[in-house]
Amino acid sequence: MSVSRRGFLGGLGAAGAGAGLSAIAATAHASAPRAPHVADRVPFHGEHQAGIATPSQDRLAFAAFDVTTDDRAALRDLLAEWTAAAEAMTRGAAVPGTSSLPSAPPADTGEAIGLPASGLTVTIGFGPSLFDDRLGLASRRPAALQPVPALPGDELDPRRCGGDLAIQACANDPQVAFHVVRNLARIGAGTVAMRWSQLGFGRTSTTSRTQSTPRNLMGFKDGTRNIVGEDLAAMRRHVWAGADSGQPWMDGGTYLMARRIRMLVEAWDRDVLSDQEAVFGRRKHSGAPLTGVAESDDPDYAATAADGEPVIPDQAHIRLASPENNDGLRILRRGFSYTDGIDDLGLLDAGLFFISFQRDPEQFVALQRKLGRHDALNEYIKHTGSGVWACPRGLPDPSRTWADHLFA
């Protein structure tokens, strides 16, 4: 490992190039062919919410909202209206109530008219702050739903953290995904206010056996050993909450953890290939572990080189995150790349919008405590946003709404 790479490279700027690179990246992804593995329509109703075990789409629109009223009935009505709107949009239909009267605002903003459903899924989550004293919901709070504790390496911007409610809209068309967040925000005016949001492009995990492994913005394959939705036993063990969650509405639900992770790409791009591979513990081009020849090869963490040092370094990302070295602990990763232009120094603001689903948030917290202290990757990343939400079970009965989880 080279010494103080960040200190040596930190002054390298990207002024002038940053905006152009962001535009090029956005154009490239916008013109890419639609992923073939996701059907145009994903059922909204089911035992579990869609957008979790669903094969990951290519685009994300994520938004966190704060409830601005203490009127329980207003929140109940909003959640019911959101349910109807989300169900319609996942079918490729307009938001219910659309009117052609020129004297009234349309009920749908219209940018998705004529577009297919594009594999759209809409997933809702309830944050810890929703269960304070404002709305009388304290008794509905699952015991595991607590604010994210301070974690090693946090450089969090409070403007990108938390929220009473979260909406994850995923699709293979960015306009279809954005259409969801825009319309739910419009419907919620006066009852909720958007706290923060994030657009994502390019899935960074494999969540189905039908998918190939994508690459993150550091150029490495990501999600090689991720849980896949078809592995029902792993989903039950690691992802879906059960009857022991303490709340009936969480039996079949899960917990969404979001982290906005900025990559220091200018420094990373100046690092030598051998060191990049040592940081991850994998070959950059093939995705194979340093002890193997193919991406699917199991890493051999006991293997040593001629000098006696481990082939996969002790601080390599895959070693620290592997189930073998964490008592079998696993999470379902479902994140996306992001780019938000440049910062005040002309450096690219780009990275990973990390999303994981787990049956208990402590699964992520335990992993991040370890990674935050020891991961060689920490030299090239900053955690700038964070939040956790309880995602209720699905709605198999079309007559039920998201409001029923909290108010039934």
Using the structure block, give the residue that is written with the tokens 């490279």.
9
pLDDT in the model for residue 29: 43
Q: What is the mean pLDDT of the chain?
A: 92
> Mapped to the 3 state alphabet, what secondary structure does 259-301 carry?
EEEEECHHHHHCCCHHHHHHHHCECCCCCCECCCCCCCCCCCC
Q: 54 burial class (0-12, 13-18, 19+ CB within 10 angstroms)?
A: buried
Q: Please state the rounded mean pLDDT for residues 181-188.
A: 98
> How many residues are recorded in the chain?
408
Q: Please state the rounded mean pLDDT for residues 259-275.
A: 98
Q: Is the pLDDT of residue 24 over 60?
A: no
- What pLDDT digit, counting tens, does each position of 116-175 carry? 999 999 999 999 999 999 999 999 999 999 999 999 989 999 999 999 999 999 999 999
For residue 34, what pLDDT band results from cuts at 50, 70 and 90? very low
Q: Is the pLDDT of residue 253 over 80?
A: yes
pLDDT in the model for residue 98: 64
CA distance 95 to 81: 10
Non-local CB neighbours of 50 within 8 Å, separated by 6+ positions: 42, 43, 44, 90, 121, 122, 123, 394
The pTM (predicted TM-score) of the whole model is: 0.90
Amino acid identity for residue 264 in this structure: L
Q: Is the pLDDT of residue 13 over 80?
A: no
pLDDT in the model for residue 19: 39
Kindly report the backbone phi and psi dihedral angles of residue 170, in degrees, each rounded to the nearest multiple of 5, phi listed first. Answer: -125, 140
Q: Is the pLDDT of residue 32 over 60?
A: no
For residue 399, what pLDDT band results from cuts at 50, 70 and 90? very high
pLDDT in the model for residue 298: 96
Q: Is the pLDDT of residue 293 over 90?
A: yes
